[in-house]
Structure 1
Amino acid sequence: MVRMLITPSTQVGLSTSPGTPRTLPGEALAPDRAVPAAQAARTRRKGLRHPLSLPLLLFAATLGLILLHQGRLVEYFFPLGAFGVAAVLYWRSPAHYIGFVCWLFFLTPEVRRLADFVNGSFNEQSPIMVATLLAVALTGLTLIRRAALLGQRRAAPLVLIVIALLYAFVVGMAQAGPAAATFTLINWLYPVMVAFYLTVTWRHYPDYHRVLLKTFVYGGLLMSVYGLLEFVSPMPWDAFWLISSKMLSEGQPVPFGMRISSTMNSCGPFAVTLMTILLMSLAARGKARIVLGCVGIPALLLTSARSTWGGFAIALVYSFAMLDGKNRMRLMAGVLGLAVVAAPLMMIDQVAEPVMQRLSSIQDLGRDDSFQARADFYKSFMSSALTDFAGQGLGTTGLGSKLSNDTAAQAMLNFDSGLMEVPYVMGWPGTLLYTTGIVMLLWRAYRASRQHPSDLLAISGVGVAVAILSMMVFINTLTSVSGMFFFLGVTLPVISLRYARERHSAVTAAPARP
């Protein structure tokens, strides 16, 4: 008799199509779920033979238009093209769709800078920045098509979060107006929609594992190398963007004078993104991961984002505690190796000076203006944030407040505490629902990663979520791109465990065949 084997590992490859059952390495497919060869061939023909061809074609065409100095045309071609590519991938390959959304977050701000540069003018409301929102908005179709899933227990945390957001949206409509409330709702809601999309398409977890790891590793390599070049010698379009945007906190557009933002909007989002990439790459294999660490760690240091440094350290400690002995030793060796590689860089004065200044400010918080301002903010604002029962609603903080007619709301543009922003915006009812949903998601992800310890991506995902949540002391990291990474981190372990259990049940229930 042939012995049927199953391995819990999730180091899996790409299977045929969205509707085809997937197997882990060494795992036999149950006879009742086997797909005949002819049907499998038809399924492959329906899918995408080369799923990367469409994104590459989009970015190549965009670059060609920029080289032809057609910046105005790029402002409309890129968002429409991104939406079209995302729509095709959404229907054909869920994993490549999420990977493409990540690439849009990585590169869209750089496309905008190039378009503005060839146009010779800075567009404060560039349509290019809508590309990511258009692409990720397709996850709303999943909510409409699979609304029945909201009644199941696995979707309960997401339902609580959505109810809290809708409550804050209604309050924000009255306080800040429909434009400000709607814009802010989109930035709070789309990370939740991404988590719901992953929950619905959990059978594609092997594809998610493979595609997302490649996206993070190669995306991190590209952004880290570009960021280091940007620090040593800023590109003309980056200097043009920094001068036109008047973002004084990003430094000066001179060699060794900028805080690295690479291809993203500013150093803050880039630091969180690079932190996520470095942590997720712990589950990757190959030489590319080593190269990523060698260029990614210096790039992360040169962002001068202290909150991200702290979150990264917390995540490394968590991962070290959760890994088994063999992987724990690998992590320790990797950290020590990167420290040895980074040591010569710290001997260069232009590189070491900004990093040491930020590190010294941590040791002497009494003289740190940023820390003192945040401490004063907590003292003066805590009572009002915690005693406002109804809350002020979405649109009264953040970038959305620019669309508000209320001058008081516009004054809250820079909100220096995510922990205070949640009760300020949502009041007591929304805060209770929102925090309950977040805690439930994090707890379920932790339990899933402990029950499936062989999946390093699941452990790394929980580490990312813990790091991002710890940074709520400084800024609200549960919205926009950082929020998407948080919800990715807490959803991947859950669908990984569910997929492993489903495949194990299918194999053990199948009768032995001669």
Structure 2
Amino acid sequence: MPAVPVTPPGAGLGARRSRDAARAPRPAVSSVAALPTVARIAQRAPTPALRDPLRPPLLLFGATLALLVLRQGHLVEYLFPLGAICVALLLYLRSPAHYLGFVFWLFFLGPEVRRLADFVNGAFNAQSPIMIAPLAAVSLSGLSLLKHMAILGQRRAAPLVLIVLALLYAFVVGAAQVGPAGATYTLMTWLYPVLISFYLILTWRHYPDYHRVLLKTFVYGGLLMSVYGLVEFVSPLPWTAFWLQGSQMVTEGHAVPFGMRVSSTMNSCGPFAVTLMALLLTSLAARGWPRIVLGCLGVPVLLLTSVRSAWGGFAVALLYSFAMLDGRNRVRMLAVVLSLALLATPLMLIDQVATPVLKRFDTMQNLGNDTSFQERTEFYKTFLASALTNIAGQGLGTTGIGSKLSDNPAVATMTDFDSGLMEVPYVMGWPGTLLYVSGIAMLLARAFRASRRHPRDLLANAGVGIAFAITAMMVFANMLTGVPGMFFFLGATLPVVSLRYAREGRNMSRAAAAPEPDNHNDRQHPTQTRRTDR
């Protein structure tokens, strides 16, 4: 008797399902494959984010404050930089936006931590290790550049590559002139703002997080520093008086009520004025009561710094932002500025507050009697020929604080250089100046075009205004290094990153909304469909 094949249970149902699946129409292109290449890369599994990215920075500053209360200043000098590096590394690996926000907080509050530690120790430390914390934290952004060296050959990084080449040239010349110590320190102060720009370009997919975190950082940071600056001006705190005496910075005024130029939590009134100018401008893109309070307190505090270049830069940035916005946002900005001016007026009615500001304004009207203007004019006459005729340049380390680390006393160095326009050719010579200026001009032009193509991003537009304001302030000092340089490169990069993110978002939306191809003949021609899919 022939064997009867036994069909396992469910085998017939499975066969029917297989045949139906074979006859079913298959999509011509998968949804992921339809997206642009960059968008597909963006869909890869991201690095796990921290549940609470604010906790590590708060723990660091809280522990530092506790040690200061316990009068352990020497421990703070070493534990604060070490803790700052650890927190920065954690945020760098897990949350790029909070990492950048933490870096700015270190620059905002690091000098104040140093003053408190010196006051607790009872001795002024001219080379405090605490000041290493912000520099070490921001240097971590260079790891991204080492990991993604291929970006150096891309068009979007061309301006930054020119700037880096100029700095490397000036470093080699400076190391031969004054030694590696001074040249290396000066290179760091010129280079780390550029690294911030590279980092933003590499992490452009996180732009919404940057927009949110940086706005909060700038608004609350500006609010904190403005309140502290007013307290410092009305009644100087003991550690502020101790710092003024130890640093011997006579240009900051005297530690008596209404006798200081406000520097708040930062090293001096110059960097603080530029910082507060940038924070006030970016706060125009924010919403809520904190930005209103910041405007009411920040504008008088900016005037109390007595830094005229920052006043002019603030006016330049406001005019630029007003001219570039559309009609609706222009009316909104005008209403905000007028409201803040009215709310800040009561503070300026106090005689002790208004007197130093009015005196400073008088010097702008009587430039013939202004000692600072006369000294700067004489400086331009003296160094103009030297800066333009020195083809090779003096190199990094011959100007600024790095000049104090010079190994060759025979080489002329200058700690205070009163003109950024003259310092660039004086330090870099003709080859470096050509590369550096070309890179800066390309950055500004690209930022301007990007902001015009994406005018709805108020933060990016404010960044372009800040970049142009800082460029205009180069007449008075070199604003492309240190904290002012960070705001310049941040402002010049944000519009480009914002535009790229918006474009990729539109591309992904179009790909998702694209209609599926007509596959009504798939049943009759399954073979042809399979060829098309391939």
Structure 1 CA distance, aligned partners of 2:334 and 2:498? 26
Q: 1:148 — aligned with what?
A: 150
Distance in 2 between the 1:479 and 1:421 partners?
12
Deviation at 1:347, TM superposition (A): 2.2
Aligned residue number for residue 251 of structure 1: 253
What CA distance in whole angstroms lies between the structure 1 residues aligned with 2:258 and 2:437? 41
**Residue 485 of structure 1 aligns with which residue?**
487
Aligned pair 1:458/2:477, yes or no?
no
Rounded Cα–Cα distance in structure 1 between residues aligned with 2:157 and 2:337: 37
User: Cα offset for 1:344?
Assistant: 2.4
Of 338, 341, 344 in structure 2, the residue corresponding to residue 342 of structure 1 is 344
- Of the three residues 226, 230, 233, the one matched with 1:231 is 233
Cα pair 1:30 1:510 within 8 Å, conserved: no
Alpha-carbon distance in 1 for matches of 2:312, 2:278: 13
Matched, 1:357 2:359: yes
Measured in 2, the distance between the counterparts of 1:365 and 1:407 equals 36
- The residue aligned with 1:240 is 242
Any conservation in 1 of the 2:47–2:94 contact (CA below 8 Å)?
no
Cα displacement string for residues 103-129 of structure 1 (whole angstroms, at most 9, x for unaligned residues): 000000000000000000000000000
- Per the alignment, residue 130 of structure 1 pairs with 132
Match of 1:368 in 2: 370
Q: Name the structure 1 match of 2:49.
A: 47
1-structure distance, mates of 2:140, 2:493: 18
Q: Tell me the CA shift for residue 243 of structure 1.
A: 1.1
Structure 1 residues 267-299: Cα deviation after superposition (integer angstroms, max 9, x where no partner)? 000000000101111111111111110011011
Who is 1:429 aligned against? 431
Matches within 5 A, 1:68-467: 68-407=70-409, 411-467=413-469
- Are the aligned partners of 2:68 and 2:117 in contact in 1 as well (CA < 8 Å)? yes
Q: 1:361 to 1:32 in 2, by over 3 A?
A: same
Q: Aligned-residue CA RMSD in angstroms?
A: 1.8
TM-score (norm 2): 0.88
Gap change, CA 1:406 and 1:44, over 3 Å in 2: closer
Report the alpha carbon displacement of residue 511 of structure 1 after superposing the two structures with TM.
Answer: 4.0
Distance (Å, rounded) in 1 between the aligned partners of 2:408 and 2:281: 41
In the alignment, which residue of structure 2 is the partner of 1:24?
none
Contact 2:49 2:94 in 1 (8 A): yes
Shift of 1:513: 8.2
| 1:453-472 CA distance string (max 9 Å, x none) | 11111100000100111100
Deviation, structure 1 residue 429: 0.2
The amino acid across from 1:192 in the alignment is V
Alignment partners' CA distance in 1, 2:34 and 2:106: 40
Larger CA Rg, structure 1 vs 2: 2
**1:510 Cα deviation (Å)?**
1.6
Q: What SS class does the counterpart of residue 238 from structure 1 fall into?
A: helix
What amino acid sits opposite 2:233 in the alignment? F
Amino acid at match of 2:428: M
Q: What is the identity, as a one-letter code, of the residue corresponding to 2:296?
A: C
Q: What is the aligned-residue identity percentage?
A: 71
Name 1:470's counterpart in structure 2.
Answer: 472
- 1:19-40 CA-to-partner distances (Å, cap 9, x unmatched) read xxxxxxxxxx98977xxxxxxx
Report the Cα distance in structure 1 between the residues aligned to 2:281 and 2:79, rounded to whole angstroms.
Answer: 34
- Tell me the distance in 2 between the aligned counterparts of 1:340 and 1:132: 37
Distance 1:311 1:93 in 2: 32
* Shift of residue 143, structure 1, vs aligned partner: 1.2
Which blocks of at least 5 consecutive residues in structure 2 are unaligned?
A: 1-30, 36-43, 517-534
Mark the CA change 1:339 to 1:202 in structure 2 (over 3 Å): closer, same or farther: same
8 Å Cα contact 1:391/1:427 also seen in 2: yes
Tell me if the contact between 2:34 and 2:511 (Cα under 8 Å) persists in the aligned partners.
Answer: no
- Greater Cα shift, 139-148 or 122-131: 139-148
Q: Distance in 2 between matches of 1:214 and 1:339?
A: 22
The residue matched to 1:343 in structure 2 has which SS? helix
Structure 1 gap ranges (5+):
1-28, 34-41
Matches within 5 A, 1:9-28: none
Q: CA deviation at 1:383?
A: 0.4
Q: Go from structure 1 to structure 2 and tell me whether the alpha carbon gap of 1:45 and 1:124 turns closer, same or farther (over 3 Å shift).
A: closer
Contact 2:300–2:348 (CA under 8 A) maintained in structure 1:
no
* Residue identity in the other structure for 1:355: V
- Residue number in structure 2 paired with 1:14: none
What secondary structure does 2:284 align onto? helix
Letter of the 1:487 counterpart? F
Q: Distance in 2 between matches of 1:225 and 1:357?
A: 23
In structure 2, the residue matched to 1:59 is 61
User: In the TM superposition, what is the alpha-carbon distance from 1:166 to its structure 2 partner?
Assistant: 0.2
TM-score (norm 1): 0.91
- Structure 2 letter corresponding to 1:337: S
Mapped contact 1:397–1:410 kept (Cα < 8 A): no
**Cα–Cα, structure 1 residues 384 and 45, in superposed 2: closer, same or farther, change >3 Å?**
closer
